[in-house]
Amino acid sequence: MSRLVVISNRVALPKQTQTGGLASAMNAALQEMGGLWFGWSGNIAAETGKELHEVEDGHIAYATIDMSKADHDDYYSGFANRALWPLFHYRADLVDYRRDHLEGYLRVNRIFAKRVAKLLKKDDVVWVHDYHLIPLAAMLRELGVENRIGFFLHTPLPAAGLLITLPRHRELLEPLASYDLVGLHTQRDLRALEDYFLHELGAAMRTGGRIRAANGRIFRAGVFPISIDTAEAVELAHRAEDSGAVGKLKASIDDRALIIGVDRLDYSKGLPERFDGFARLLRDHKDLRGRVSLLQIAPPSRSDVPEYRSLRRELERSAGHINGQYAEPDWVPIRYVNKSFGHKVLAGYFRVAKVGLVTPLRDGMNLVAKEYVACQDPQDPGVLVLSRFAGAAQELDAALLVNPSDLDEVSEALKRALEMPLKERRMRWQSMMDVLERNDITYWRNNFLHALMEPPKVKPEIYVQTPMTAP
């Protein structure tokens, strides 16, 4: 059997608490099957990629490299998180494109390629992840790597009209054709990719069979909605019922209802709007004051990027303002916590909460929405209030779907969730749980890898007609 080699910027090294969906998901995906996971160590050093840190844990081997401060600033905090991240989340207003950031991005990708190429064996199947590493396959091909290489984009992909606003977008996106398979979370993302390739890059699309382009570069793209280790989440939540952390939380909320939100502190997650939506609920329903609290867990993320720092200040102000307006000596409306928790504790918190409030303005998938559902007590499940603009809304359509910018809609959905009869809660929960039991992380991984290894004969293919520019 071939070895799986996963390459991503973020790696969930053993015994580290990770607060990101990619790390959670790939950790779960590799646990059962094993393989090699290559990426950034999370550490800054004098030079990027000088040393290879190798660790083994069970049947997963980890190989990571440190990054220099300058490379980290240009590649990660710069081009990846100040140009691509906002653009891919439809925030063209926040895009801060700089040529030196792009150069740094390409430089780090080249270092990744050189390091990985040396580790690869002939039959390895390579799976590259996310917007940090778009040009990696093209660079590996230049180094003579002929293995099957797949790519998965964990963020949304915006419409072509937005993609073309990025300077040198062709140079960045055309190399996607060097992958054998590109995976996206939703049909909307796939349509955006097809549209961009067909109308901006002059590619042509065919159905059925394998088609070779004149330049020999062919790739396929498909929808593979990522998921969670559903069975493990169920088990964790069940066991957490008697844990100390959950006991403390329960005692502190007494007989009040708890609404929970868990997100990295990121502007894509719609946190200011969420606080305002909750405040609208309190404004419009006096009877709920003192009877419901919002617990918002928001570990800081990407703090080197100015927008993330200003978001933090904004949320501190907003939580303070709302609490000042509505709090009583024995009740605080918003419990705002800026630290991260392990999956065990979160599973218990999700089970205690009557409502899961997941309202990103845009999100590739949002695993928290799926985790909240999986962690519910089947006899007395809570209700998920979910943004229409999270990839998860495509599958979890039995949630109460909202537009996160419509504060009245969010407030009404919260009221409805808090008052929902048991029968309706069970029906909605079961319908979502059926999805999560069918499409769990193992299904997602196998589905993608199967498609990567054995290209289906009847799926649409995109092939690029124009010659590619080397990045």
Ligand X SMILES: O=c1ccn([C@@H]2O[C@H](COP(=O)(O)OP(=O)(O)O)[C@@H](O)[C@H]2O)c(=O)[nH]1
Q: Which residues are catalytic?
A: 154, 363
Least separation, in Å, of the C-beta of 131 and ligand X?
A: 12
Select the span of 27-35, 89-97, 361-369, 458-466 touching ligand X (CB under 6 A). Answer: 361-369
Q: Residue 169: which residues within 8 A CB-CB, separation 6 or more?
A: 163, 200
Provide, rounded to whole angstroms, the least separation between the CB of residue 390 and ligand L263DTV3: 7
d(CA 366, CA 387): 10
Identify whether the C-beta of residue 35 lies closer than 8 Å to the C-beta of residue 3.
yes
Q: Mapping DSSP to helix (H, G, I), strand (E, B) and coil, where does residue 260 land?
A: strand
Using rule CB under 6 A, residue 12 touches ligand L263DTV3: no
Looking at residues 279 to 318 of the shown chain, list those that interact with ligand L263DTV3 (rule: CB under 6 A). 301-302
Range 32-61, binding ligand X (CB under 6 A): none
Q: For residue 84, what are the contacts with CB-CB under 8 A and spacing of at least 6?
A: 131, 155, 166
The count of residues interacting with ligand X (CB under 6 A) is 18
Nearest-CA neighbor of 223 among 390, 393, 448, 440? 448
Please identify, using beta-carbon distances, which residue of 299 and 455 lies nearer to ligand L263DTV3.
299
- 188 touching ligand L263DTV3, by CB under 6 A: no
- Per-residue mark of binding to ligand X, 381-410 (x: CB under 6 A): ------------------------------
Residues with Cβ < 8 Å from 35, sequence gap 6 or more?
Answer: 3, 4, 5, 6, 59, 60, 61
DSSP 245: H
Whether the Cβ atoms of residue 41 and residue 66 lie closer than 8 Å to each other: yes
Instruction: Considering only residues 211 through 230, tell me which ones interact with ligand L263DTV3, judged by CB under 6 A.
Output: 226
* Min dist. Cβ of residue 320 to ligand L263DTV3 (A): 26
Rounded CA separation 119/128 (Å)? 14
Return d(Cα 19, Cα 300) in angstroms, integer: 9
Stretch that binds ligand X, among 363-371, 414-422, 433-441, 453-461 (CB under 6 A): 363-371
**Tokens representing residue 78 in the block:** 């710069």
Q: Which CB, 365 or 435, lies closer to ligand L263DTV3? A: 365
Q: Is there a contact between 101 and 74 (Cβ–Cβ < 8 Å)?
A: yes
Contact 21, 154 (CB under 8 A): yes
The three-state secondary structure class of 306 is helix
Residue 155 binding: pick among ligand L263DTV3, ligand X, none (C-beta 5-8 Å cut-off by kind): ligand L263DTV3
Place of tokens 């504060």: 407
Token output for 291: 């009877």
Q: Is 64 in the site for ligand L263DTV3 (CB under 6 A)?
A: no
Q: Which is nearer to ligand L263DTV3, 363 or 409 (CB)?
A: 363
Q: Choose between 15 and 423: whose C-beta lies nearer to ligand X.
A: 15
CB of 328 to ligand X, least distance (A): 28
Minimum gap (Å) between residue 70 Cβ and ligand X: 26
- How far, in Å, CA of 52 to CA of 47, rounded? 12
Q: Which residues contact 412 (CB under 8 A, 6 or more apart)?
A: none
Is 340 one of the binding residues for ligand X (CB under 6 A)?
Answer: yes
181-207 as b/e, with b when 16 or more CB fall inside 10 Å? bbbbbbebbbebbbebbeebbebeeee
Q: Shortest gap between Cβ of 371 and ligand X (angstroms)?
A: 5
Given 4, 7, 10, 400, the residue binding ligand L263DTV3 (CB under 6 A): 10
What's the sign of the alpha-carbon dihedral 341, 344, 346, 349?
A: negative
For residue 356, list its beta bridge partners.
Answer: 260, 384
Q: Which is nearer to ligand L263DTV3, 84 or 282 (CB)?
A: 84
Q: Which of 318, 340, 366, 376 binds ligand L263DTV3 (CB under 6 A)?
A: 366
**Which listed residue (42, 272, 299, 460) binds ligand X by CB under 6 A?**
299
Out of 341, 397, 459, 460, the only residue in the binding site for ligand X (CB under 6 A) is 341
CA angle 13, 146, 58 (to 5 degrees): 25
Beta bridge partners of 67: 44
Q: Binding partner of residue 302 among ligand L263DTV3, ligand X, none, CB under 5 to 8 Å per kind?
A: ligand L263DTV3
| Binding at 299: pick from ligand X, ligand L263DTV3, none (beta carbon under 5-8 Å per type) | ligand X
Judged by CB under 6 A, the residue of 11, 12, 13, 20 near ligand L263DTV3 is 20
Site residues for ligand X per CB under 6 A? 19-22, 24, 262, 264, 297, 299, 340-341, 343, 346, 365-368, 371
Site residues for ligand L263DTV3 per CB under 6 A? 10, 20-23, 25, 130, 154-155, 226, 301-302, 363-367
